[in-house]
A and B are shown apart, each in its own frame.
Chain A
Amino acid sequence: MAGRGSVFWGRTEELRKTVIAGIIGFAVGAVIIFLYGYSPVTAFGALFSGAFGDLYSISESLANAVPLILTALTFAIGFRGGMFNIGAEGQLYLGALAAVTVTLFRLPSAVSFALSLIFAALAGAIWSLPVALLKATRGVHEVISTIMLNWISHFLSFYLIAKILVDPLRGEKTVSIAEGSRFALLVPGTSLSYSLIISIVLAIVIFILLWRTVIGFDIRAMGHNELAATYAGIVKWKIILFVFISGGVTAGIAGAVHVMGRPPTYAVYSGMPAINGLGFEGLAVAMIGRNHPIGIIFAALFFGGLLAGGRTMQIFAQVPLEMVRVVEGIVVLFLAIPELMRLFPFLNKLKTSNLFKARASE
């Protein structure tokens, strides 16, 4: 179908397929909501207005998206390199705690701010090193090492939060990040802070890294065809190291921007209830965003919106939070199918040109 705008149209094919899949997923979700006795109109009305209805809602959706973009990048970089890096969870805990540790030193605000981010990135990178080294030297598959290290980080964090970084006045959390070293709120009266900028900037950086640099090319080549890449002279262990370390950096920063940017506590609670799961949600975001930084931004926004909308669904449509999970799950399941349109041949029969023709003849 040649014609005006067809080149642009072709480029966005992936995006369109994803959107269509999402639409179908929502439709099925609506049916399930209906079957359980809730009104899909009220429920989805609340969902969408809670996600995008006003500035407050949009801010909340964006705030949710901020850490998801970063953990998704961790996974995506690995995926592009042909590796399965699910270590973001463990790395982000330590990134958050590293940022808190810097606060303990009571440095001048600007210094503290910068150092928190740097140390968080370092913490994430260091935690990903064992994965990279084990893979490069002993060939240990990253699925095992990341899952194990995630759990080790989980308990190590418990220890650090309870014994070393604990707030002397409130034992259930760490000390809070000093006021001067926090991200200011982008929209007052919401949860959205300037940390959004960090996420977007990093997404752009990773894009440039993967598609406009030599090392990025090497990574993608290794991901496409390891044998050919090696033959072409790309050194595997260097790629492994680079992929995991950069993944660790984004994950560590994900932890840091959460603890430095998300009101009201600016600390980590025992049990990490605020950052728990961000790593695995990042995986979903990455896959839905087709492991491309731009797609990831949109997918993160989608997920963030679902979470924000789930809240209003509960409050104003009295639909339980669990239903949101169910809808999320169904939408994601459908998003797994790239060629969804092929399955619905009847949709092809709906030719827009006919619709317009009918109009014209009236």
Chain B
Amino acid sequence: MKSNSKLLIAVFTAAILVVSFVAMPWMTQAGMGKVAVVLDVGGRGDLSFNDMGFKGTDEAAADFGLQMVEIQSASASDYLPNVRTAARSGQFDLIIAVGFLLTDAVATVAKEFPKQKFMIIDMVVDLPNVMSIVFNENEGSALVGALAAMVAAHYGYPNVGAVLGIEIPVLYHFEAGFRFGIDWGNKRYKEIMGRDADVGLLYTYTGTFSDIAKGKAATEAMLAQGAGLVYNVAGPLGIGDLQAIAEHLNRKGKKAGPPFMIGVDANQDWMGDGHRVLASMLKRVDNGCYNAVKAVVDGNFKGGIVVMGLKTKGVAMSKAGDLDTFMEFGIGAGEITGKDKSTIKKNWTEMRSDIPRSIWNALDDLERAIVSGRIIVPTANTLEEMQAVRARYPLTK
């Protein structure tokens, strides 16, 4: 027995050593143009942020004949080695880092490999070989906030809700904009309809981007406190939020909202059969990624900051045009089938047309005002700033 195990171990060790050293040079050979997408620990499947990043890069790779390599991170400790290993290989025309958690990794590696091109989303890394794409989520959130307030007032709900994930600066952008929007919506509703709106905000940070049950429970709690719309700012938790809304509607024997959910990042309007998600705050991470790859392919890649806000179509409130594109998204996820499309479209159109024209016009006004710079939507990057915004727009009853 002992001699057998000796042999086995010897053979195995030899095999590992041979394979390891032989495989090494092969890891640095050049091939067709490649683009790397490094994801943070959230990973794919959120139907929002990370999925959008993947989608945009995937499309760009397909359109420009590049190979896309997806690199997931098992833990935050992987960020630096992931980015570095990709850079070291010299095989990638562009390394895209999806999410601000990857900031330090990109900053470090970009210095080590100044010829390697990088793109990072949601943070600024001030180096010549890094394109930093930031989004004005506060602007988009202001739009949906105004919508939420006015719609809640229209249907007679005293509150709107926001279910958030982990308390981080990016989410502060959402919360600040949303608050501003609600406040604006309240005032504007009074102007248009002559009645007081005074819609309040219920919000909670669930502390997770993955425990869907918490999203469901939080939404249930908000619905019980009279929320007419719930803004999902916690990625996949939207699934739980929608569940709670569906059950709530079921109890009342209704199929369509109100109450409604407001989707985030991707257009999630198609969820809930098209009549439970009133609108979504689009964060076009996919466009950001697509444009970055295109810039590299076209040869005009520049380091620096790219701001994607309402003006530059980086953020938007979902409209009819986006619905089709994102229904494809949903079909891809296996959530809806091709034949559902027309039903969803019909429901969605009904849902939207039930809202008075004057409210939609008001939103167009707000959008124009923000784009022209007449209205500046507040934002927050630190707890202090967030608390200041909370103090300015308390929205409590």
Chain A residues at the B interface, C-beta cutoff of 8 Å:
1, 9, 16-17, 19-20, 23, 41, 44-46, 48-54, 56, 60, 64, 155, 158, 162-163, 166, 168-172, 189-191, 258, 262-265, 269-271, 273-277, 307-308, 310-312, 314-316, 318, 320-321, 341, 347-348, 350-353
Contacts and interface: CB of A to CB of B under 8 A. Distances in A.
Interface stretch (B16-24, B291-299, B321-329, B352-360): B16-24
Given A9-B2, A45-B22, A172-B169, 10 more contacts: A16-B5, A17-B5, A162-B167, A166-B383, A172-B101, A271-B209, A312-B27, A350-B7, A352-B3, A352-B4
A314 B83 CA distance: 12
Contacts of A64: 77
B41 interface: yes
A274 B77 contact: yes
Interface stretch (B85-93, B183-191, B238-246): B85-93
Contact of A341 (B5, B27, B76, B209): B5
B172 interface: yes
B108 A264 contact: yes
Contacts of A52: 16-17, 20
Nearest to A318: B69
A311 B76 contact: no
B50 to A, nearest CB: 13
A49 B23 contact: yes
Given A20-B8, A20-B9, A308-B81, A315 B89 contact: yes
B317 to A, nearest CB: 26
A352 B6 contact: yes
Nearest to A44: B19
B7 A264 contact: no
B32 interface: no
Given A273-B76, A312-B27, A315-B86, A49 B19 contact: yes
B364 interface: no
A23 B9 contact: yes
Interface in B58-84: 69-72, 74-82, 84
Contact of B3 (A258, A310, A353): A353
A173 to B, nearest CB: 9
B23 A348 contact: no
B71 A314 contact: yes
Contacts of B155: none
Contact of B107 (A163, A264, A308): A264
Contacts of B207: 155, 158, 271
B36 A273 contact: no
Contact of A269 (B2, B69, B76, B81): B76
Contacts of B112: 189
Contacts of A9: 2
B225 to A, nearest CB: 23
Main SS of the interface on chain B?
Answer: helix
A184 to B, nearest CB: 15
17 contacts: A9-B2, A16-B9, A49-B27, A50-B85, A158-B167, A166-B382, A168-B384, A170-B169, A171-B382, A172-B169, A264-B105, A273-B101, A274-B75, A275-B75, A310-B74, A316-B89, A350-B7
Contacts, number: 155
A312 B85 contact: yes
Contacts of B3: 1, 351-353
B81 to A, nearest CB: 5
B391 interface: no
A50 B17 CA distance: 12
Contact of B1 (A44, A172, A316, A348): A348
B340 interface: no
A54 B24 contact: yes
Contacts of B79: 264
B168 interface: yes
Interface in B166-188: 166-170, 172
Contacts of B172: 171
A178 to B, nearest CB: 16
Contacts of A258: 77
Contacts of B41: 273
A344 B167 CA distance: 54
Contacts of A170: 169
B12 to A, nearest CB: 5
Nearest to B68: A318
A310 to B, nearest CB: 7
A163 B167 CA distance: 10
B23 A45 contact: yes
B312 interface: no
A214 B191 CA distance: 82
Contact of B70 (A1, A48, A171, A314): A314
A315 B101 contact: no
B382 A307 contact: no
A19 B9 contact: yes
A54 B23 CA distance: 11
Nearest to B167: A162
B396 to A, nearest CB: 21
Contacts of B21: 49, 53
Given A16-B9, A341-B5, A270 B86 contact: no
A343 B72 CA distance: 37
B104 interface: yes
B280 to A, nearest CB: 24
B381 interface: yes
A45 B19 contact: yes
Given A45-B19, A269-B76, A23 B107 contact: no
Given A314-B70, A321-B72, A48 B16 contact: yes
A53 B71 contact: no
Given A1-B2, A347-B4, A311 B71 contact: yes
